[in-house]
Structure 1
């Protein structure tokens, strides 16, 4: 706790504001409150240069900067590449701008004009939250890595035993080994998913974005899931258009595989799952549709949270970790897109996600 207080008291603040009077007033207020103003700049590109030089603990970012890079794009770059928490400064409450700003995971908003006390409280809350998230992320990473190595060894040993490497095993022993092997396999998947989600949410993943054919990405995901679908007596249908998408191919395929896996998991035998892709305005839209049990209306948002499943008892039997959709959401948000679900109980669900046609970070 003492360490946290010292971090807050000695915090270095980067001001990114293109109105001279406002930036001057901000600097005066911050220094009076005891903060170190490490740099004052007026554009997104200058903010990135300053971040490299002075390594600020937090940035106050005008949401509507002039120039090639606006405040939202600059904030997204600073948080993803330097892990600098962002507080937006704005004189506007435009709904579309705020929706775009939310995608960059801000740590606060200040509506101009604001009082010094409001400024101080917002910065304190942001720094405390960032410190807490960093510690939690570090704990999850260390714990998961510590679990992964022994689990992998145990899973390998159980797999060998279950394959009959030792003779004269009783039927009961074989059944117990099969159960143990299956359970450790699920634990290994869970640890891997936790590690992947932690890396995504802490911005430790760099997307390898290139131009790809969206239809080919869908076909690769279908090929991955085809055997599982056949075993579940589910047919995968497709309605694919050859469209260019600027994305990390491995991460988009991972997202599609997760969505297809869920669709197959919750679909009855002898039914169909469909995957579609099309362009709407300046976005590429992917959809995965099933004819399963559906999702209650009050759960349509929460299913993207960690360990949140529609029917825990049923999905646990199917081997889910409860992290697949959370991982999907993080991947799509990192691409600057959106993901959502539409559903009718007893009729099925459609999960859709978008990828901006142009590069989110270099428009």
Structure 2
């Protein structure tokens, strides 16, 4: 007998006792307390009392018999229906007594329904009682209304409302008591299970602790994995184990030991994630237990089968809610991992994931420190360079100004004009240097401003090339705008600043007499502008550095001077603010091509 059926049987037995206990009260009421029965009413009262006694005895016997287990819910429903008939009969019979509290018997039905069915019974029973209330009031009004008062709706509505409220309260209390009882019973069962589990879990935790110590024994990932594997053998025997991480869509074996370790999926090997078990782990983030790999489900299981390995458990390595790898243990015998081992492997997966993240975080911090040192050195070089770049033009400006002031009358008009032109060019050089420094600080502070509008890139290219051609005559600068270019959404002045910087670099690093070519064309949903020179090119190891703040290239044989290391950083920042990309392609002694790519839907 299930716990639910047993509970129903106990409820039915208790209600049967209540019926039997009510019989003496009914006898006293019918035989002693009630008088002046209308004709035939006393017979019906005794008949109803007899029905009460029979129902009490009958349902008590049924609750003790095996028949109750066959149809417990039908018996419970029948018992409630019989009680409704008995209570309804008593209510109708005693309507002849003016002011009789007989209608309060309906509360007995309400409580019984709530005890049997909880809040559902407490809410539904008032609706079942409502017709009985209406019939009882009609019966009283039509037969015993003396002096006449007529049909009184409040004799129906008020008791019905009171019954409904009471049913809600009693039903809620019954449901709450049942939930508490079920919770208590579940806690008792759980306590018994926990008692049995304590010893096993102590072993699991001890194993996990020792493995965790092994993982934290070194900040080198390979050494930590080797120590972990040695410790693992003593707790979870295996024929093969592996730790596999997902890197850019490929499965990389970080550690492997056991059967076929040097042949199949060896350490450091990579393969597409594809239809492997790792793909399933990454998708679900849940452990997978392959009890028998005879029926191959994943790509690698065929090779495991050739090695005689049939049983496999794999647990995810989690970074937050997302899996980034797995730990896998394999044995020769099918269905050879027990529940304790499966649980331990799942726990070890979390430990390995934590160790991998910690070691990688350490490596990232170390790389960050090295990068900060490199940037500090670049900054120091930049300060030295800027100091030099400021002193040189300032010296020219000051010297020229002093010469003009002291020897103005001695100098010819051409000499004066030459000194003034030198002052002008050096001042422009200073202004450009200060402008780059200010732009860099604004970019770092996030206050670099843009004014977006529709930009005609064809006209922008032609204007920029024309301006560069007028500014110098040593290098030929030509523009090739292929077709009618669509407008893009951007800041024209900032984009011209990018293009001018690229042209200035191309001219500066091109030998005299060579040509700088600018091509502009549409490719799919982007507009590309390529600035190509025939200078010494940008070495591969410097193609990333030149776009960094303070980064400067040093190409062998370069005719130009190294810059401040800010121009391309500013150009790239402006480009990225437009949703674009600035890249360089180059080969030694074959020049360099800088490509500015802007989306057609670029917006600020």
Alpha-carbon separation, structure 1, partners of 2:556 and 2:397: 28
1:251 Cα shift?
A: 0.7
Conservation of the 8 A alpha-carbon contact between 1:162 and 1:178: no
1:284 Cα shift?
A: 1.4
Alpha-carbon separation, structure 1, partners of 2:513 and 2:601: 39
Conservation of the 8 A alpha-carbon contact between 2:527 and 2:599: yes
Does residue 1:310 correspond to 2:551, yes or no?
Answer: no
Does residue 1:236 correspond to 2:478, yes or no?
Answer: yes
Alpha-carbon separation, structure 2, partners of 1:226 and 1:331: 24
Conservation of the 8 A alpha-carbon contact between 1:161 and 1:177: no
Three-state SS of the structure 2 residue aligned to 1:355 is strand
Alpha-carbon separation, structure 1, partners of 2:559 and 2:402: 28
Alpha-carbon separation, structure 2, partners of 1:188 and 1:307: 21
1:293 Cα shift?
A: 1.5
Alpha-carbon separation, structure 2, partners of 1:345 and 1:313: 11
Does residue 1:286 correspond to 2:286, yes or no?
Answer: no
Equivalent position of 2:495 in the other structure: 252
Structure 1: any 5+ residue segments left out of the alignment? 1-91, 96-109, 137-142
Deviations 1:127-177 (A, max 9, x none): xx9xx9xxx9xxxxxx9xxx9xx999988655544556743779xxx9999
Alignment of 1:334-345 (within 5 A): 334-345=577-588
After superposition, the Cα gap between the structure-2 partners of 1:160 and 1:111, relative to the gap in structure 1 and judged at 3 Å, is: farther
Alpha-carbon separation, structure 2, partners of 1:349 and 1:193: 23
After superposition, the Cα gap between the structure-2 partners of 1:93 and 1:252, relative to the gap in structure 1 and judged at 3 Å, is: farther
Three-state SS of the structure 2 residue aligned to 1:350 is strand
Equivalent position of 2:576 in the other structure: 333
User: Greater strand share, 1 or 2?
Assistant: 1
Alpha-carbon separation, structure 2, partners of 1:285 and 1:324: 20
Q: Which has the larger radius of gyration?
A: 2
Which of structures 1 and 2 has the larger relative contact order (alpha carbons within 8 angstroms, sep 6+)?
1
1:249 Cα shift?
A: 0.4
RMSD of equivalent CA atoms: 4.5
User: Greater helix share, 1 or 2?
Assistant: 2
Equivalent position of 1:275 in the other structure: 518
Runs of 4+ in 1 over 6 A off after TM superposition: 92-95, 114-119, 150-156, 174-184
Three-state SS of the structure 1 residue aligned to 2:595 is strand
Conservation of the 8 A alpha-carbon contact between 1:292 and 1:347: yes
Equivalent position of 1:205 in the other structure: 448
Does residue 1:297 correspond to 2:540, yes or no?
Answer: yes
Give the TM-score, by structure 1 length: 0.51
Structure 2: any 5+ residue segments left out of the alignment? 1-245, 250-317, 323-352, 377-382
Three-state SS of the structure 1 residue aligned to 2:467 is helix
Equivalent position of 1:323 in the other structure: 566
After superposition, the Cα gap between the structure-2 partners of 1:153 and 1:337, relative to the gap in structure 1 and judged at 3 Å, is: same
After superposition, the Cα gap between the structure-2 partners of 1:94 and 1:207, relative to the gap in structure 1 and judged at 3 Å, is: farther
